[in-house]
Structure 1
Amino acid sequence: MRTLGVEEEMLLVDARTGRPLPAAEQVLRHAADRAQAAATDGAVTGPPMIPGVCAHGAVEGEFRQQQIETHTAPAAELDDLRSELWRWRGEAVAAARECGVGVAALATSPLPVEPAVSRSPRYLWLEDRYRLTAREHLVGGCHVHVSVASDEEGVGVLDRIRVWLPTILALSANSPFWQGQDTGHASYRAQVLTRLPSWGPNDRFGSAAAYHRLVRELVRSTVILDEGMAYFDARLARRYPTVEVRAADVCATVEDSVVVAALCRALVETAAQEWAEGREAPDVSTRLLRCATWQAGREGLGGQLLDWRTGLPEPCWSVLETLLDHVGPALEAAGDLATVHDGLVRVREEGNGATRQRALLAHTGQLADVVTDSVRTTAAPCPGRRT
Structure 2
Amino acid sequence: MTTLAPLPDAVPERPAAAVTVGVEEEYHLVDAETLALRDSAELNDAALHGRMGPQIQAEIATTQLETATAVCRTAGELRQQIVHVRTEAAAAAATAGSALLVASTHPFATWDQQRLTARPRYIELFERWGLLALQQVICGCHVHVSVPDLDTAVAVMDRARAYLPTVLAMTGSSPFHEGTDTGYDSYRTQWFARWPITGPTEPLGSGTAYLELVEGLRRAGVIEDSSSLYWDVRPSAKYPTVEFRVGDVCTEVDDVVLHAVLLRSLTRVLAAQAERGVPAPEIRPELLRAARWRAARHGLSESLFDVLQGDLVPAPVAVERLLALLRHDLQDAGEWQEASELTTRLLARGTSAQRQRAVLQRTGDLRAVAASVVLRAGSA
- In the superposition, the TM-score normalised over structure 1's length comes to 0.90
The answer as to 2:341 corresponding to 1:342 is: yes
One-letter amino acid matched to 2:241: T
* Matches of 2:63 and 2:196, distance apart in 1: 23
Greater CA drift, 73-82 or 224-233:
224-233
Aligned length: 360
Say if 2:147 is the partner of 1:130.
Answer: no
State, as a whole percentage, how many aligned pairs show the same letter.
38
Alignment match, 2:120: 121
**1:70 alignment counterpart:** 67
User: For residue 15 of structure 1, what is the aligned residue in structure 2?
Assistant: 32
Q: Deviations over 1:185-225 (max 9, x none)?
A: 00000001110111011111110000111111111111223
For 1:163, what is the secondary structure of its paired residue?
Answer: coil
Q: 1:117 offset after TM fit, Å?
A: 0.9
Q: Which letter maps to 2:32?
A: A
Residues 371, 163 of structure 1: alpha-carbon distance in 2 compared, 3 angstrom cutoff = same
Match of 1:368 in 2: 367
Superposition map of 1:1-387 within 5 A: 2-23=19-40, 25-26=42-43, 29=46, 32-33=50-51, 35=53, 58-113=55-110, 114=112, 115-376=114-375, 380-381=379-380
Please report how far the alpha carbon of residue 230 of structure 1 lies from its aligned counterpart in structure 2 after TM superposition: 1.0
Q: What are structure 2's unaligned runs of at least 5 residues?
A: 1-16
CA RMSD of aligned residues (A): 1.6
Q: Which amino acid aligns with 2:62?
A: Q
Give the distance between the partners of 1:130 and 1:350, measured in 2 at CA. Answer: 39
For the residues of structure 1 that align with 2:40 and 2:334, how far apart are their CA atoms?
Answer: 40
User: 1:145, 1:331 → 2: CA distance?
Assistant: 18
Cα offset, 1:267, TM superposition: 0.5
Cα contact 1:173–1:186 (8 A) shared by 2 = yes
Runs of 4+ with deviation above 4 angstroms: 30-34
In 1, the alpha carbon distance for the partners of 2:28 and 2:270 equals: 33
Q: 1:173–1:187: 8 Å Cα contact kept in structure 2?
A: yes
- On the 8 A contact 1:175/1:188 being kept in 2, the answer is yes
Listed as ranges, the gaps of 5+ residues in structure 1 are 36-56, 382-387
Give CA deviations for 1:136-174 in whole Å, capped at 9, x if unaligned: 222111100000011111111111111111111100000
**SS at 1:243 equivalent:** strand
CA distance in 1 between partners of 2:73 and 2:138 (Å): 28
SS at match of 1:245: strand
Name the aligned partner's letter for residue 23 of structure 2.
Answer: V
SS at match of 1:172: coil
CA deviations on 1:46-67 (whole Å, 9 max, x unpaired) are xxxxxxxxxxx60011111111
Contact 1:176 1:184 in 2 (8 A): yes
C-alpha deviation, 1:19, in angstroms: 1.1
Question: CA 1:27 to 1:87, structure 2 compared with 1: closer, same or farther past 3 Å?
Answer: farther
Deviation at 1:380, TM superposition (A): 2.4
From the superposition, tell whether residues 124 and 34 of structure 1 become closer, same or farther in structure 2 (CA, over 3 Å).
closer
Query: Residue 384 of structure 1 aligns with which residue?
Result: none
Distance 1:310 1:150 in 2: 31
Rounded Cα–Cα distance in structure 1 between residues aligned with 2:310 and 2:60: 36
